[in-house]
Amino acid sequence: MVGSLGCVMADSGDAVLHRLYVKPQCKRQGIGSDLLLQAEKYARARGCARVLAHLGDPTTYWESRLFYPHHGYVFLDDNRVGKMLDTHLP
């Protein structure tokens, strides 16, 4: 296993991402991007219009603050990002 990502449907109707992880030696190969794309497709298929993620401690998880905005996520506050999904895509 080189990476993982959890995605749960919240009572609010949003999809919430948990613990996106890629082994350090496997980073920069598109694995995290592929995992994120699959989670977004999963959420979209379940009728979610928005995906949320908590970024964690900025000193430990600083890469997440660069990764998510690169994929269209916007900061909701200092530690959370979100993205509206195009519900017309498969």
Distances in Å between the Cα of 22 and the Cα atoms of 11, 53, 90 are 28, 16, 25
In the chain, the domains with their CATH numbers are: 3-84 (3.40.630.30)
Our CA dihedral for 10, 56, 75, 45, rounded to 10 degrees, sits at -30
pTM for the model? 0.90
pLDDT band for 86, please (50, 70, 90 cuts).
Answer: confident
Q: Tell me: the pLDDT tens digits for 46-58?
A: 999 999 999 989 8
